[in-house]
Each structure stands twice: as structure tokens, then as C-alpha cells.
Amino acid sequence: MARYRVGLETRERILAATRRLLSEVGIEGVTLKAITDQAKVGAGSFYNLFDSKDDAVFEVVREAVEAVDPDPAGAGTDSLEDLVDAFVAFMTGSSPIARIYLQLAGRGLTDTGIAVRVLRSHRRRVERFTDAWQREDPTLSEREAQQRAETMLAALTGLGMTTLMDPGFDMRTHAMRLLPDSALVRGA
Amino acid sequence: MARYRVGLETRERILAATRRLLSEVGIEGVTLKAITDQAKVGAGSFYNLFDSKDDAVFEVVREAVEAVDPDPAGAGTDSLEDLVDAFVAFMTGSSPIARIYLQLAGRGLTDTGIAVRVLRSHRRRVERFTDAWQREDPTLSEREAQQRAETMLAALTGLGMTTLMDPGFDMRTHAMRLLPDSALVRGA
DNA sequence: TACATATTGGAGCGTCCACTCCAGTTTTGC
DNA sequence: GCAAAACTGGAGTGGACGCTCCAATATGTA
């Protein structure tokens, strides 16, 4: 889309504005007008660079979600605890993008296009957790490790929802109970 | 609101229409016009009986969610397995209201009014699960049982989201792993 | 420099939607 | 049977919002 330098810069300004709005007023507050006002750009410029409003929103959320990974390089050195810790930090941290992420997932329940994107990032995460499980306990079968990873992530997601709705909820304690040391997600 | 017989009947027609629409076209498809058309009622009649569109939607979802309970009387005879089973059935069953429920929860992440309603029903459910845990293992402290209940529900919610987005996902198997026989949610 | 192409702002279009208003009708209690 | 109050339909209001269109301008290339 953007081919000239100015275009690329405008694109960045738009993404920054979207990011800021998502954080400050939530997903409902992100209207096209809000974005273009914040970015000091006309609607025409916006559509010269993005196909739709959601395009910009997805881009911002995708970046934020990827940043959750404590080991983006995927070097395979992060422990289960690291992963859980990073997830908890994401949910309880100051960035309100966590809310947005779960809300998008909620929308994915009826919008197939969104579901595909959410599932894709979910699967990536399951892989990371599966690897960590096997590193923790090399005797685990691939299948078993994957089931534990899936269950663990599900629990983390559910705990995340509760903590986002109920600020008094102690997510970290509950989440730590999921670690193998606590014998919580160990299989049959 | 409704004081006369006709009013109560109209109210029921409106709720039935809303229920049907939620099932057939999802939460986005439920517009006031859709409801009033389906119920064969004027907008004025609607607002004579409900304060807002969301009022009717909440009422329908609340009824559906309460119906999940295998033992509505709360006689305290349902086992953990019964509860988990009922939850899985709700999520994987034919009623699309499960989607709506999770979507509303998603909205609750930014809408305080919704969060309050969602948390209220969440807490009720945690109580039921806590009781069941204590029935299963009477040596459990209240606190421990409650933590296990919270974790279990979180995992079920997360698994529910995955299964709603990915029809190929085997929720039942994963959910059953959470039962004490499978040593999954047992504490430290 | 000259030209093709990218970029720009923003007025305005089309649509959708929750909700109000109200005059007329029906129901109910007495 | 009568009055008060509830109920009714639906036209109309006000506003939000995503996106298009386009003339004017800036940018990069040869």
C-alpha cells in the first residue's frame, strides 16, 4: 500500500493513534473519526493505507499479543513458569490491550474471520506451552504434553477473564497452582 | 412494569422473539426492529415493558444460563462430574446461547454494568463447584475447595471458548481431565 | 524538469439503530 | 358502566458510523 516515505510515516501515526485509543477508551471507543482525529489525518489518507478500520485494530492487537512472549526468538529456553508468569503479567499489567485481546476472542465466537486469527495465535501459544511441558518432563508423550498445554492455557484464559472483571481477584496465586510443582494440571 | 394480563403476555412474546433471534442470528443480529417485528409488537409496546433492548437480552441469557444447572433446586446432590458434564453439554450442545453468554462476558471486560451481572452468576457457580469439591473430599478446607472451584471454572470457560471457535476441538476429553479422579486440579 | 503515481483532507453519502412521543384503544377495579 | 391506568403501533427523531470520492498537492524517478 504505502510506497513513499510519507505514507509509511502516516501509517505509523495511525497505528500509534489506534494503539493509544484502544488503551484509553477501549474497543468501542475506537471509531474511524477518533483514529483520524488523533492521528491528525483525513479519512481518505486512512483508506489509502488500510483496507478497513478493523485492519488497523488487528495490527495493533497482533503486535501487542506477540510481545507477550518472554522469548520471541523461540530459542526454547523458557520454562513453564516463565510462560505462565508472562501470561499473568499480560493480564494483570497496566496495558489494557489484554482486555481487547479477550474481547476480540469473544467476537471470534460469531465472526469466522476473527476466529481464524485468534485460533492461529492460540495454536502458536499451545506449541510453546507443549514444548515447555516436554522440557519439564521429557518422559511425556507429545499428545499428553499437548493436552496439558491446552488445559493450562484454557485455565489461564478463564482466570484472565475473571481477573479483568474482578480487580480483587488474585490471578497470580491461582495461576501458579497450575504449575507442575503444584501438581495441578498433571494428567491421569 | 407489566400489570395487566395482556402486558404480561406481550412481555413473554418479546422474550420468546429475543430468544429465537439470539439463537438464529446471534447477538449482533438482535436489533430492536428485529425483536418487535418477530414479536409482532410496536416499539412503544416494547418500551412500555422493558427499559432497554439489553434488558430483554440479559433476561433471556440469564434464563438460559440458569438452566445449565443440573440441580436448580440446589439440593446439594450433584457431583463434580455432573457439574462439569452440564457445563460441557451447554458449550457443545446445540443451543447457541452459550456463545452469547461468553460474548457478553467479553463485553463485561469493558462494560462495568455487564461485568456486575456476569460476576454475579460466576460467583453462584463457584459456590456450586466449591460445595461439590467438599462433598467429594470432606477434608478440604473451604479456602482450598474454593480455589479449586475457581480454577476448574476458569479452565472450563477457556476450553469453552476454544471449542466454540474450533469445532474440531474435543472439549469433553479435556474437561474430564479436570476431575479429581484424573488428579488435575488437585492442589499442592 | 517533467511525468506518473502516491498521498492528502474532509465534505458528504448511505445506512443503521436505539429510543421517544402520542393519540387512540383496551383492560381492570370499583 | 365508568374512570383511571395500562397498553398499543409506528412514524419520527437524532445521532453515530464506516466508507467513498475527488480535486489538490507532494513525492520519487528518469
CATH number at residue B37: 1.10.10.60
> What DSSP line would sit under B87-156, residue for residue?
HHHHHHSS-THHHHHHHHHHHHTT-HHHHHHHHHHHHHHHHHHHHHHHHH-TTS-HHHHHHHHHHHHHHH
Residue A188 lies in a domain: no
pLDDT band at residue B181 under the 50/70/90 scheme: low
Considering the domain architecture, whether residues B29 and B77 belong to the same structural domain is answered as no
Considering the domain architecture, whether residues B47 and B77 belong to the same structural domain is answered as no
* Mean pLDDT, residues A22-29: 89
Considering the domain architecture, whether residues B37 and B96 belong to the same structural domain is answered as no
From the Cβ of B42, is strand D under 7 Å away? yes
C-alpha distance across the termini of chain B, in Å: 52
How many CB pairs lie under 8 A apart between chains A and B?
Answer: 136
pLDDT of residue B94: 79
pLDDT digits (tens, 9 = 90+) for A62-80: 998 888 777 777 677 789 9
Closest CA to B25 of A106, A108, A113, A110: A110
* Mean pLDDT, residues B78-100: 89
Indicate the residue among B19, B35, B61 that finishes a domain. Answer: B61
List of E strands, chain B: none
- DSSP 8-state symbol, B79: -
Considering the domain architecture, whether residues A84 and A156 belong to the same structural domain is answered as yes
Which residues of chain A have a CB within 8 Å of the CB of B147?
Answer: 173-174, 177
Domain that holds residue B93: 71-182
Touching check for B172 and chain A: CB below 8 Å? no
The answer to whether residue A116 scores a pLDDT higher than 80 is yes
Considering the domain architecture, whether residues A116 and A164 belong to the same structural domain is answered as yes
The answer to whether residue A9 scores a pLDDT higher than 60 is yes
Contact A75/A68 with Cβ under 8 angstroms?
A: no
* Cα–Cα separations (whole angstroms), residue B186 to A81, A140, B52, B99: 18, 19, 44, 29
* Cα–Cα separations (whole angstroms), residue A21 to A28, A68, A91, B132: 10, 20, 18, 44
* Mean pLDDT, residues B139-146: 94
SS3 content of chain A, % helix, strand, coil (to 5): 75, 0, 25
Burial of residue B112 (CB within 10 Å: 0-12, 13-18, 19+) is exposed
pLDDT band at residue A187 under the 50/70/90 scheme: very low
Considering the domain architecture, whether residues A38 and A87 belong to the same structural domain is answered as no
Measured between CA atoms, the residue of chain B closest to residue A177 is B187
Considering the domain architecture, whether residues A57 and A78 belong to the same structural domain is answered as no
pLDDT of residue A188: 35
pLDDT of residue B74: 67
Considering the domain architecture, whether residues A124 and A177 belong to the same structural domain is answered as yes
* Mean pLDDT, residues B1-20: 94
Q: CB–CB of B161 and A154 under 8 A? A: yes
Contact B37/B111 with Cβ under 8 angstroms?
A: no
pLDDT of residue B67: 82
pLDDT of residue B96: 83
pLDDT of residue B187: 41
Calculate how close chain A gets to B8, using CA atoms only, in Å.
32
Distance B166 CA to D2 C1' (A): 64
The answer to whether residue B18 scores a pLDDT higher than 50 is yes
The answer to whether residue A184 scores a pLDDT higher than 80 is no
* Cα–Cα separations (whole angstroms), residue A24 to A106, A128, B111, B112, B115: 20, 31, 14, 15, 18
Separation of alpha carbons B147 and B134, rounded Å = 12
From the Cβ of A141, is strand D under 7 Å away? no
What is the count of structural domains for chain B?
2
pLDDT of residue B110: 77
Lowest pLDDT segment from A116-125, A132-141, B81-90? A116-125
